Chain A
């Protein structure tokens, strides 16, 4: 970090705690390989509470993909998959993950081998095809949680279908682990999950304050525990710490971007290999990305009195599983709530459900709010398609246009 960069960035103290949490988690997960403790690879939108309640270690290839991307190791891993015949046009998380599975490559020497797989298609259809390939490669069983897409109307039979699959999943896990599912333990986990989600929401909401105590680039880093470990006590403790620090910042008048002048909303998965540069680019132009559509995806509601039904409902309603009309509503809501001056959309070659429709979303948001939108063409981890000079030029022109 240069002195110039240091001026633009106020370090979040809780980061060390988060790093420890994630390191401990990965050490535990890696140590479980080959032992009696089952390891399950799960998609980022999957109902992890079931795994935690059954004492299964959840492992997230998408989180690992983000790590590989941030350490700029994704391309070499993706190239392994491409040599195996996987098209360069496929999701770069999937390519990188397949490459890492084969070579044990990446910043932590690959993920522990799964005993079984849990794919939930509430984020995309890609995860189902990707996990099918993993099931073939590792020769392990896979459970597909199929959450029907919501084109404006959420039907009762869709909720019932997902609820039935939750029950099937319980049977699947009982068979794999040889353990009996405990409703009481599940309720405890669900409660911890709700608590962590609630704390995470409180963290995100602190950015409503002007100036904002953190940026979405911070949120992208600090979301790791809510994605991977919700349902555990440690995560609740961690977010208590983080929310406290953010509130303290507000009290002390500490802002994430020293001279916050513009407040922007980010859409889509981060450009992991470019996070620091982008963070600096916006900060040096006095722009703070105060909220995003990505990290809010883990703010799902689960009702403790009816954990199964409400979980089926919550996991079906996530941002990527709803129509463009409903996405517009949520975007407008974010724009208003965070008092944003504009919208920055990452058109992500790797993610069609997130990216197709962005042109319409951008037009609609501008029409309804009068605020401009910028669309950046990139990929979340495949840096070969990224043009730094072009993005810099466009971001600077965009911020200039904000007046």
Chain B
């Protein structure tokens, strides 16, 4: 393991340590965000550090006074982190609509968590058509103005520099995924996914430097013979590292994914020609979509099927959080599509306050048995 890789891996035990250190080091501001449709480049260009919050495994103590138990644990545990003071280092937070739950969490957060800056970017749900794209540009431009007024100036040249850094990061993560598809033995699944997740917690130029070194190290590593069953995993956020380790332990390996803390986070780059806001908008519609967005001309099931084929995965795991409506609505038809193609799959649902990797083990083992028997 290279120095950079081990430094990034250490961060997993205390994900916000880097942000707190960065603030102390630079005196800069940290701005939390939840959804990977958030225009991080704009926040970064203002000199602030965008930090992604995706909940954590904990039993909540304070969020129950604001959110019902049928609200997903991403929202419940994130709010709990804020209300118990675990996110005190934040100077602001940004919400980009996402889903019904996040839409309401934004208000509850603003009224109760009380960070200086609160940004709502009401992105469209339609991601096709001139009117939607024009609206998206206006909404992003309006956010840029609010960031400029409240955090720091965002002029074109700085924004262009931030965009280049972000594109470089996306390119590096895409390379990591390519290397892993070719030879899954070079890095365990949990480490590969953490390399992506950590990118949303560390300033991009520094993350790029560490990522470059880590990838160079992986290229030189000689892989063990590949006997593991190749799997594709899909869902929203993947932050269950013990689960991923367990999958490897029982003989599976994840060769590609459709997580918003995985492939969707770095998919597609911002075009550098033309207006930067226009470019950011174009990337958001070009990248692999999440079930919250409406792109009538592309079908999520066929997109996933294509990617499963390209990755050489022999089976799929739908890994999702309980009470996630958008993913729950898409599951039956995607599952049906996979069934028709003879791809075995497994549907798992967890909550951050009651994760039991042991209970999931037998189900993953059963899936691997099915695949080996195919």
Contacts and interface: CB of A to CB of B under 8 A. Distances in A.
B70 A146 contact: no
A358 B107 CA distance: 12
A149 B103 contact: yes
Contacts of B142: 155, 157
A144 B294 contact: yes
Given A89-B328, A90-B325, A133-B329, A356 B68 contact: yes
B350 to A, nearest CB: 13
Given A146-B294, A151-B120, A323 B332 contact: no
B374 interface: no
A205 B99 CA distance: 34
B101 A352 contact: yes
A85 B122 CA distance: 31
Contacts of B124: 146, 148, 161
Contacts of B294: 128, 132, 144, 146
B112 A360 contact: yes
B125 interface: yes
Interface in A123-156: 124-126, 128-130, 132-133, 136, 142, 144, 146, 148-149, 151, 155
A255 interface: no
A168 B111 CA distance: 37
Contacts of B112: 360
Contacts, number: 137
A144 B126 contact: yes
A144 B125 contact: yes
B139 to A, nearest CB: 7
Among B120, B330, B349, max chain A CB count under 10 A is at B120
A126 B291 CA distance: 11
Contact of A359 (B67, B134, B292, B335): B67
B71 A352 contact: yes
A126 B139 contact: no
Contacts of B296: 142
Contacts of A90: 325, 328-329
A376 to B, nearest CB: 12
B106 interface: yes
Nearest to A88: B328
A107 interface: no
A126 B108 contact: no
Nearest to B121: A151
A353 B135 contact: no
B125 A151 contact: no
Among B70, B120, B349, max chain A CB count under 10 A is at B70
A86 B328 contact: yes
A349 B139 CA distance: 32
A121 B293 CA distance: 12
Nearest to A129: B329
Given A356-B101, A359-B67, A121 B125 contact: yes
A193 interface: no
A168 B129 contact: yes
B144 interface: no
Among A121, A161, A358, max chain B CB count under 10 A is at A161
Contacts of A357: 66, 104, 107-108
A360 B135 contact: no
Contact of B111 (A121, A146, A324): A324
Contacts of B333: 133, 136
Nearest to A160: B135
Contacts of B104: 324, 352-353, 356-357
B250 interface: no
Contacts of B107: 151, 323-325, 357, 360
B323 interface: yes
Interface in A147-204: 148-149, 151, 155, 157-158, 160-161, 164-165, 168
A355 interface: yes
A352 B71 CA distance: 8
Contact of B326 (A94, A129, A360): A129
A86 B329 contact: yes
A90 B139 CA distance: 30
Contacts of A360: 66, 107-108, 111-112
B100 interface: yes
Contact of A157 (B97, B129, B135): B135
B111 A126 contact: no
A323 B107 CA distance: 6
Contact of A86 (B65, B120, B326, B332): B332
A43 interface: no
Contact of B139 (A89, A121, A157, A377): A157
B332 A85 contact: yes
Contact of A89 (B106, B120, B322): B322
B34 to A, nearest CB: 14
A324 B101 contact: no
Contacts of B89: none
Contacts of A126: 100, 325, 329
B323 A85 contact: no
A359 B125 contact: no
Contact of B125 (A86, A125, A352): A125
A158 B108 contact: no
A75 B139 CA distance: 42
Contacts of A29: none
A158 B123 CA distance: 10
A161 B122 CA distance: 12
A293 interface: no
B132 A161 contact: yes
A108 interface: no
Interface in A203-249: none
Contacts of A161: 124, 131-132, 134-135
Interface in B116-146: 120, 122, 124-126, 129-132, 134-135, 138-139, 142
Q: Which 7 pairs across A and B sit closest by C-beta, in order of nearness?
A: A85-B332, A129-B329, A164-B131, A157-B138, A161-B135, A356-B104, A324-B107
11 contacts: A125-B99, A132-B329, A142-B296, A155-B138, A155-B142, A161-B134, A352-B70, A352-B104, A355-B70, A356-B105, A357-B107
Interface of B: 65-68, 70-71, 97, 99-101, 103-108, 111-112, 120, 122, 124-126, 129-132, 134-135, 138-139, 142, 291-292, 294, 296, 322-323, 325-326, 328-333, 335-336, 347, 349
Interface of A: 84-87, 89-91, 94, 121, 124-126, 128-130, 132-133, 136, 142, 144, 146, 148-149, 151, 155, 157-158, 160-161, 164-165, 168, 323-325, 347, 349, 352-353, 355-360, 377
Given A133-B332, A157-B139, 20 more contacts: A85-B347, A86-B331, A87-B349, A125-B103, A126-B325, A126-B329, A132-B294, A142-B296, A146-B132, A146-B294, A148-B135, A149-B122, A151-B106, A160-B131, A165-B131, A325-B111, A349-B70, A352-B104, A357-B107, A360-B66
